[in-house]
């Protein structure tokens, strides 16, 4: 006895179609410099909902500015610096501070984001 054919989704074909159409962005992060040296970070979802709106104090600005200037994701930037994603997140949140070589690399990333992007490629 043969089983009746079921309608099966071709997930691979669906994914190829979405990629061909250009996948929409899910979240967008904007950084706006403030007069006191701090940064306003606003994370917006594709539907316009503001997920997070915070002011990053001036002491934490170098880490956020370095990554923002390169346009890399947290995971990509952490990999480029040779640190764990968690360490980068701790730096950006102010729970920990970078030191030594990491601090130097962050200064370079702020001053020369194009070079850092090229190194990531």
Q: Is 16 a domain residue?
A: no
Instruction: Measure Cα distances from 23 to 16, 20, 27, 45 in Å.
Output: 10, 8, 12, 14
Q: Is the pLDDT of residue 37 over 90?
A: no
Q: What is the per-residue pLDDT across 67-117, written as a single tens digit (0 to 9) for each?
A: 888 888 889 899 888 899 999 999 988 889 898 888 888 888 888 888 888
Q: Is 42 a domain residue?
A: yes
Containing domain of residue 81, as a range?
Answer: 25-120
Q: How many domains does the chain have?
A: 1
Sheet with strand 39-45: strands edge to edge:
27-33, 39-45, 50-56
User: What pLDDT is recorded for position 88?
Assistant: 92
Q: Is 108 a domain residue?
A: yes
Quick one: pLDDT band at residue 24, thresholds 50, 70, 90? low
CATH of the domain at 33: 1.10.260.40
User: What pLDDT is recorded for position 105?
Assistant: 86
Residue 101 CB partners (closer than 8 Å, separation 6+): none
Name the token pair of 41.
């970070």
3-state secondary structure (DSSP) of residue 55? strand
């Amino acid at each position: 006895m043969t089983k009746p054919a079921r309608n099966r989704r071709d997930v691979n074909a669906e994914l190829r179609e979405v990629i061909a159409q250009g996948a929409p962005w899910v979240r967008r992060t904007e950084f706006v410099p403030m007069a006191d040296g701090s940064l306003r970070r606003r994370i917006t979802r594709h539907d316009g909902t503001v997920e997070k709106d915070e002011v990053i104090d001036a002491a934490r600005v170098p880490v956020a500015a370095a990554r923002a200037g390169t346009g890399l994701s947290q995971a990509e930037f952490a990999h480029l610096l040779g640190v764990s994603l968690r360490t980068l997140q701790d730096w950006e949140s102010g729970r920990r501070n970078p030191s030594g070589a990491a601090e130097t690399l962050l200064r370079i990333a702020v001053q020369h984001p194009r070079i850092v992007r090229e190194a990531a490629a």
